[in-house]
Amino acid sequence: MAGVGMAAVAAWVPCRSWGWAAVSFGPCRGLSALLARMPQRAPRWLPACRQKTSFSFLNRPDLPSLAYKRLKGKSPGIIFLPGYLSNMNGTKALAIEEFCKSLGHAYIRFDYSGVGNSGGNLEESTVGKWRKDVLSIIDDLAEGPQILVGSSLGGWLMLHAAIARPEKVMALIGVATAADGLVTQFNQLPVEVKKLYIFLYSA
């Protein structure tokens, strides 16, 4: 995917069961089949091996610690990126965890810095810092290929993570992805403010 535009490598796959759209990258095309098998209601059976979800903190030098919960399971793993001011205990985050449990897939949900149980100050948070949070989760916690599920602002961060880590992100699922809104607002800003935003984003 390196050096290739996202539009050229993305294949949209409608998923009626979830009402979302999945974007598959590279030769891995198992996501559409995986989503098609999603049960319409909670399954009555449990995996043969009971899985445990741990609550932990990812400690990072010179950066706030990130609170996360990880479910062990098979590949590909799924990472949920919550929306603005949402945390890892939201309805979507918990529902996806139950779905991953039913299929035995690995799953990670977490809080951005300054939100929920993570360290940091919300007033000092930026989209650029939250982007670094997502990359930290992918680099330091996730094992093997990952499917990113981004809700609202998390969908915008999901797109940036896919560009930054093409070797680890095999597919994207956007839930009301708030990408166009951010771009529109940015284009309406004065030039001086745009320069400041770019500086803060790259810091």
pLDDT in tens, 72-83: 999 999 999 999
pLDDT for position 202: 64
pLDDT for position 203: 57
User: How is the chain split into domains, by residue range?
Assistant: 56-198
pLDDT in tens, 16-58: 333 334 444 444 444 434 444 444 444 433 343 344 445 789 9
Q: Is the preceding omega at residue 166 within 30 degrees of 0, hence cis? A: no
pTM (2 d.p.)? 0.69
Fold (CATH) for 56-198? Rossmann fold (3.40.50)
Calculate what percentage of the chain has a pLDDT beyond 90: 53
Q: Burial, 38: exposed, middle or buried (Cβ in 10 Å; 0-12, 13-18, 19+)?
A: middle
CA distance 9 to 119: 36
Angle ∠(49,142,108) on CA atoms, nearest 5? 65
Q: Which residues of the chain have pLDDT under 70?
A: 1-54, 200-203
Q: Is 10 helix (H, G, I), strand (E, B) or coil?
A: coil
pLDDT for position 199: 72
